[in-house]
Structure 1
Amino acid sequence: MRNKLLMTSLCLLLGGCGGGSGGSVSSGEGNPTFEDGSNGGLDEGGEKELVALGVDSVRYRITIENDWGVEDFPQGFPDDAHLSLIGGATHNMAVSFWEIGEPATRGIEDMAETGMIDIFLGDEVVPAIENGTADSQFSVRNYTDPKIDGVPGTTVFELQVNRAYPLVSLVTMLGPSPDWFVGVSGERLYDDTLGWLPELKINLPLMDGGTKTDVTPVMGGPDIIPGVAIGYVVYDTPTGTYQPSDVPQMVARLRFERIE
């Protein structure tokens, strides 16, 4: 196993507990813009400089704000709503761990159904590190007590990212649920023209892992055999159930902030 294997296990700020993606950059004349319409933390004069192209690695603060709450999802909203364990990797373009429109891997299935990330990290991320397509793995434990009613809160942690492996993928189960999760797949933090991005904000839709049939926020339920592709799931107000959709519904926000 390569020496670059990294396991980061952090205690976090979170008001809950528990067991692809956007963020594209458009370049052209002027400052870069991001999918949320911001300029990625640059001021109007571009004085907040992007890190030079030659810098090999930088550190990012990652903040996940969970907006899944009883106000917007009133019927059957669980008392123990939470984000589960967060698992992820820094990697290059030669590997992808999950994609919208593709079936879930065994590790993603287990994460979405149970909140556990052992299979995802051990059977999928570690082999990618060993074959040189990923640089590091990370896990974030979200256990706090007591739970906060409604919106579970905010998770904050830090991550070192290498220029040769500028992509970040992460996932976490939105629980309790049959097989729902949020995350990003292959978010790029280093641009060959712009350098290291100072900030990236992404809205996270509720994802359906495609392996369970239940439409309410409870764990378990009948399996879908074989599993179907990962897709969006949205709250249907008239019925109080969650249904597959081609249109995403945002339930969380993710922010990458470069720190020196």
Structure 2
Amino acid sequence: MENLMPVYRLCHIFWIILLAALGYVSCLPVVGDPVCTAGGHAKYSLIFTGKWSQATFPKQYPLFRPPAQWSSIIAVTHSSDYHLWQKDEYASNGVRDFSEKGEIWTLMKEIEAAGEKIQSVHGIFSAPAVSNGTGQTSTEFEVHTKHSFLSFMVRIVPSPDWFVGIDSLNLCEGDHWKEQITLDLDPYDAGTDSGFTFSSPNFATIPQDVVTKITSAFPSHPANSFYYPKLKHLPPIAKVTLSKLKGNQITGFSTDQSNLIPTSNEIDDSDPVLETPLDCEVSLWSSWGLCRGRCGRGGTKTRTRYVHLNPANSGAPCPNLEESTECRPENCI
């Protein structure tokens, strides 16, 4: 019997390895986010600041019907196994409806379903919309040790399906809550509409694409409203500041919107005003016109082009829009 023990142990190890390979057993520790041991609850303020100005983003900046503005904030506190949205992943139906049309009902149902099914959502909260591109809005929210992550979305209005936001920011750091965080926000494309400009008509992306970050060079189409090929990085179009409120341990939470605090639409004067140079953009040359002149003496013909975009903020001026060259008149005897 003693001689059989090593063989039995080898067989036992073999079966564990086989089951692990099949996904039934995990023999290796899972590496993930550090466990939050801060204890209790914490309350935070959230201040969203829009920095979308005509000086910073002069290309096709929307001035009318509707002018540049921000939707209300949709935010969630949750555990590490939930995502409101993710870069390089497909947007849910709720994220699609919100990023394209500002409709929240499908997204709210998805969030509530996640909270009921896998207990991954702690609270849902919102903040009022901002009626211009450079205003502010704010609210308060709660987190606790098992749901220490924050995610939110704000729709860029108008836009095809563009938004800014945060995916799964952990506010707990080991045994304590983070005191203050300020983050610049970049635009994202939900991958559900193929419009290039802020005011593009609806044009569904079929098949649906994944969520992607918009940069100064991507999408690389010259018509894109964020296409600034001479810039290494886009200026931040918004920012968010999260501050832990002192001496405010919370014992419960709410999923309604009664925790909103007053909105301020004043421009944040603490940030310098950036001006993005916008070079003049012109069309291709037209074909050459008829050769005009007298037979035997030569003539001239002309071609033209027109301005796509006027320069702004000391950008390169427009070149000549008309060009002439010598020619011989046709049909001369």
Give the TM-score normalised by the residue count of structure 2: 0.56
Structure number with higher strand proportion: 1
Residue in structure 2 matching 1:177, options 150, 159, 166: 159
Matches within 5 A, 1:225-236: 225-234=206-215
Counterpart residue number, 1:201: 182
What letter corresponds to residue 238 of structure 2 in structure 1?
A
CA RMSD of aligned residues (A): 2.6
Matched residues in 2 for 1:130 and 1:112: separation?
A: 24
What letter corresponds to residue 141 of structure 1 in structure 2?
P
Counterpart residue number, 2:71: 84
Residue in structure 2 matching 1:256, options 231, 234, 242: 242
Residue in structure 1 matching 2:113, options 104, 127, 142: 127
Deviation at 1:219, TM superposition (A): 5.6
Matched residues in 2 for 1:248 and 1:199: separation?
A: 25
Is the 1:60–1:256 contact (alpha carbons within 8 Å) kept by the matching residues of 2? Answer: yes
Structure 1, gaps ≥5 residues long:
1-26, 28-51
Secondary structure in structure 2 of the residue aligned to 1:136:
strand
Secondary structure in structure 1 of the residue aligned to 2:237:
strand
Matched residues in 1 for 2:162 and 2:154: separation?
A: 9
Identity over the aligned pairs, expressed in percent?
23
Is the 1:63–1:157 contact (alpha carbons within 8 Å) kept by the matching residues of 2? Answer: yes
- Specify the structure having the higher radius of gyration (Cα): 2
- Asked if residue 137 in structure 1 is aligned to residue 124 in structure 2, the reply is yes
Deviation at 1:72, TM superposition (A): 1.7
Runs of 4+ in 1 over 3 A off after TM superposition: 52-55, 234-240, 242-245
Matched residues in 2 for 1:220 and 1:130: separation?
A: 37
Matched residues in 1 for 2:115 and 2:233: separation?
A: 32
1:258 to 1:61, Cα distance in 2 relative to 1, 3 A: same
- Asked if residue 62 in structure 1 is aligned to residue 46 in structure 2, the reply is yes
Matched residues in 2 for 1:100 and 1:67: separation?
A: 22
Matches within 5 A, 1:1-260: 53-79=37-63, 80-122=67-109, 124-131=110-117, 132-142=119-129, 147-148=131-132, 151-193=133-175, 195-218=176-199, 220-234=201-215, 239=223, 241-242=225-226, 249=234, 250-260=236-246
Count, aligned residues: 202
Deviation at 1:238, TM superposition (A): 6.7
What letter corresponds to residue 97 of structure 2 in structure 1?
D
Secondary structure in structure 1 of the residue aligned to 2:226:
strand
Structure number with higher helix proportion: 2
Structure 2, gaps ≥5 residues long:
1-33, 247-333
1:164 to 1:252, Cα distance in 2 relative to 1, 3 A: same
Deviations 1:140-190 (A, max 9, x none): 2326xxx44xx3311111111122100011001011000000000111101
1:87 to 1:168, Cα distance in 2 relative to 1, 3 A: same
Is the 1:82–1:174 contact (alpha carbons within 8 Å) kept by the matching residues of 2? Answer: yes
Counterpart residue number, 2:14: none
Matched residues in 1 for 2:169 and 2:210: separation?
A: 20
Matched residues in 1 for 2:69 and 2:208: separation?
A: 25
Is the 1:169–1:183 contact (alpha carbons within 8 Å) kept by the matching residues of 2? Answer: yes
1:240 to 1:219, Cα distance in 2 relative to 1, 3 A: closer
Matched residues in 2 for 1:238 and 1:228: separation?
A: 20
Deviations 1:90-147 (A, max 9, x none): 100121121110111111111110122221112x11012112111111122326xxx4
Deviation at 1:243, TM superposition (A): 5.1
